[in-house]
Amino acid sequence: METGSNSDSLAKAETSNGRGNKLGSMLPKIEPFVPKKDQNHNPRELRSWAKRTGFVSHLSGETGTASSTERFDSSTGFHVGKSGRDQRAGGSSPKIEIDPVLGRTRPNMGVEIEMDSGSGSGSRQGRKTVADGNGLGEKVEERKVGLNGNGVENGNGNGKGNGVASVTPLVVEEKDEEGKGGRDVEIGMYPEGEEQGHEGGNGHHPGLKVGLRDNPGLGALIYYGLQHFLSLAGSLIFIPSVMVPAMGGTDKDTASVISTMLLVSGISTILHSYFGTRLPLVQGSSFIYLAPALVIINARDYRNLTEHKFRHIMRELQGAIIVGSIFQSILGFSGLMSLLLRLINPVVVAPTVAAVGLAFFSYGFPQAGSCIEVSVPLLLLVLICTLYLRGISIFGHRLFRIYAVPLSVTITWIYAFFLTAGGAYDYKGCSPDIPSSNILVDECRKHAYTMKHCRADASNAWRTAAWVRIPYPLQWGVPIFHFRTSLIMIIVSLVASVDSVGTYHSASLLVSSKPPTPGVVSRGIALEGFCSLLAGIWGSGTGSTTLTENTHTINITKMASRRALVFGALFLILFSVVGKVGAILASIPLSLAAAILCFMWALVVAVGLSTLQYTQTASFRNITIVGVSLFLGLSIPTYFQQYQPESILMLPSYFVPYAAASDGPVHTINEQLDFSINALLSMSMVVTLLVAFVLDNTVPGSRDERGVYIWSCAEDVATDPSLQLDYSLPGKFSSLCCRSSCLRA
């Protein structure tokens, strides 16, 4: 075997050309690299030796001949080459390899970089297959933390991924000259489509018709914006149909509250699109606030009110919502939310969101069953549209899947009109316009409940509502502030924040290549608190938060443009000032509203449990925490709800579970504190959050097993233009804020 360094061979070559003496005197005398006896070459020693011999450009990229895009992986000691963009542009790493013994370049050998046909997914992970001297290899999984959030593959061991972004790996092979062994290093570089989506500056993500920063034109923006809000119609308009009648309000009051909700939702969505997380998420009245509102409505103090019952309870709700919203804003603007993010993970979010939907199982079908000939067809129709007809495309649009809720409600409502016009609910000598309390004939009293819930013309909202009515602040009067109700809403705003964290992360994986930073999440939570403050001032009856169903809507519509969302929100504001729009929506029979809410609440449960895809779902730790949290979240409130013998006699059966605040088992020296504790522990979502939060943060488990949320860091925003365009504030407004406070790590 020849000995000597590469510099010696170069000197000999120059001598043959007549210049050897001159060049030989200039070259330093470098001793050859002598390997250790165990033949285990340390890459760091090779790198150090290469620096002395002048070949650093092909190992570390430190000389001027190396491209700025070339990198050296310090963990493996191998040169990776150019970035994914340069690879696609046709560039390649020079195929030069240094003999670790002779210090010479090997002929026809070197670093081969080729595309791997297999695709990984989700967070960027590298796979190493390291072969020993006998040709036997050991496969090592290496997770690259903090690059792409919780993606498809998270090491759950089932070979299936969770998320959306897939990774195109590069395979770097170093072959041994003797052929006795080799080393393959597969390193995930860029998610497929990431560069394509961000090079154009439009934020287009694979699988989406319209990307986050796309501008498809005015007509398309209006269409996609209306489509997005129509697919969420069930969450936006049916909450007042449940609340207002329970508060003693009239049909006109229901129409006014619906108009107010449309206005607040439109304003909140626009604010969130520009100054919140900037993700395409609709803000509105959430089911999270419905349960505590029903608890306050059914408190003993308000049951016997006769005069202005609706206004009094609404003012009580306004005061509680305002206090809770201030707490949520402080949580976001102070940066405390960034600290809480370390403790909020999918194992906490999944059962909490699921408990929000399960909390209404006692109200759903018992109320819908009041008119079973209308509610059951509606349930069947919405299931047929969403499940059996979801694949049918009409003019390139899957109308049945996108517009399942509004289409089903419209068809069933027309069917109810035919039943009413045909005399199905006409009873001799009975009028649906007479309140049941004033009916003297026993026969009519028996049918009053059916007429109220089934007749399509039972509501007089259309006749009494004005064509133009602008909702204004404090329209119901000055808010009333009590410690007991304020404490309830403070805890509920914390539950809403946990729900929003899960929605932010899931939506970011659908519409962007990377999740937001903790600072962006805190900013979104703070703005949600501000929007809830607006809801409290205007008097919508509930706080404003990110709707959980947003991720489902983005997934089925494939629309993620925030511009389109702004256009849809403007139409929502326009509809809110047309009084007849709210009147039409308020005229929907209560049994229809309850039936569609059964589907919406079930969807909330499903969306919540789907968050577990970011964890190892087969882990005994995780399934135990989720199972115990959900079971205790349903069982403990039932224990608190049994201490109310008077409520059983005075309230409808579907409202009894929400009346435990006044008669619960907790008794202290402070009655208002008793009210708050009994109310909170009678709500499934609060108990579930408490149990899941404690268990997930005390039971040992690896990051992969727990599916810990991985957020981007502030350095990523500073170096990644696409990430900055996705989440940073608008230019003029951003210049007024310090980057450290607006995009806090």
H or E stretch including 567?
A: helix 562-576
The one-letter amino acid at 410: T
Q: Is 684 helix (H, G, I), strand (E, B) or coil?
A: helix
Residue with tokens 């994914």: 84
What pLDDT does 292 receive?
Answer: 94
**Segment 134-143, tens digit of pLDDT:** 444 444 444 4
- Long-range contacts from 49-52, C-beta under 8 angstroms, 24+ separation: 49/103, 50/98
**Segment 346-382, tens digit of pLDDT:** 999 999 999 999 999 989 999 898 889 999 999 999 9
Report the C-alpha gap between 211 and 191 in whole angstroms. 16
Question: In 232-308, which residue ranges form alpha helices assigned H by DSSP?
Answer: 233-237, 239-246, 251-275, 290-297, 300-303
Mean pLDDT of 336-345: 92
**Segment 164-223, tens digit of pLDDT:** 344 444 444 444 444 443 433 333 333 333 333 333 345 556 678 888 888 888 998 999
pLDDT tier, 29 (very low <50, low <70, confident <90, very high otherwise): low
pLDDT tier, 718 (very low <50, low <70, confident <90, very high otherwise): confident
How buried is residue 9: exposed, middle or buried, by Cβ count under 10 Å (0-12/13-18/19+)?
middle
Give the pairing type, strands 137-143 and 166-175: unpaired
Dihedrals phi, psi of 467, to nearest 5 degrees:
-70, -40
- Cα–Cα distances in angstroms (integers) from residue 738 to residues 115, 520, 524, 720, in the given order: 42, 13, 17, 18
What pLDDT does 33 receive?
Answer: 54
- Cα–Cα distances in angstroms (integers) from residue 516 to residues 47, 678, 712, in the given order: 37, 37, 6
- Cα–Cα distances in angstroms (integers) from residue 735 to residues 329, 499, 540, 732, in the given order: 22, 31, 34, 5
Tokens of 109: 């050998």
Report the C-alpha gap between 20 and 484 in whole angstroms. 94
What pLDDT does 275 receive?
Answer: 93
What pLDDT does 147 receive?
Answer: 40
pLDDT at 690 over 60: yes
Mean pLDDT of 111-130: 42
pTM: 0.72
Question: In 276-289, which residue ranges form alpha helices assigned H by DSSP?
Answer: none
- Cα–Cα distances in angstroms (integers) from residue 228 to residues 367, 413, 533, 744, in the given order: 28, 22, 25, 31
Dihedrals phi, psi of 105, to nearest 5 degrees:
-80, 140
Report the C-alpha gap between 601 and 611 in whole angstroms. 16
CB atoms within 10 A of CB 640: 23
**Segment 439-483, tens digit of pLDDT:** 556 667 667 777 777 888 878 888 888 899 999 999 999 999 999
Residue with tokens 């649906």: 432
Dihedrals phi, psi of 389, to nearest 5 degrees:
-105, 10
Average pLDDT, the chain: 76
